[in-house]
Amino acid sequence: MKNKKDFNKWRAEKLGYVYFSRLSDLIINEPNFKEPLFDYLIDIGENQKQTGRFFGVEVEPYSNNKHKLDDVLNKEYKNITFPALLVMFDNKIDHGYYTWIKRPVKDGQLIFDTTKNGIEELNDDSLNKIVNEVKDWYSLQYVAQVE
């Protein structure tokens, strides 16, 4: 018998899909293997075509349980070479929050960010901010390769 996914996790993943599909440039890929590290790999496309500028998204139900957040952030994320987010949804009110797992920074580096202090509201403004930060990071990667 197949293991059933926890309802709150399933619902949070569906809400994540709805939130990220608000931006038409985002191409949402759901890994189709058994134990993926991320729920979504999202490509920041151009004209509905993939560009390779992707970021990982792990989706979880929102919980005030600090140990649960620690468990999620202590997965094998340290060696990830691209930006990644933890997105959480309060299934009672459909409200989203996010924090960076691998934060892209202005100097082209990625910071493994497990401070948990930076949990922010997920909304249209923050979605645009996330996409712009990831785009800026990739533009610095391309410049570094050319030099």
CATH number, domain with residue 72: 3.40.1350
Number of structural domains (the chain) is 1
Residue 35 domain boundaries: 7-146
**Proportion of the chain above pLDDT 70, given as a percent:** 81
- 62-79 confidence digits (pLDDT tens): 876 555 566 666 667 778
Residue given tokens 């990644």 in the structure block: 84
Which of 42 and 146 is assigned the larger pLDDT?
42
What number is the average pLDDT over the span 34-46? 88
What number is the average pLDDT over the span 112-140? 86
Model-level pTM?
0.84
Which residues lie closer than 8 Å to 83 by C-beta, 6 or more apart?
Answer: 55, 56, 100, 102, 103, 104, 110, 133, 134, 137
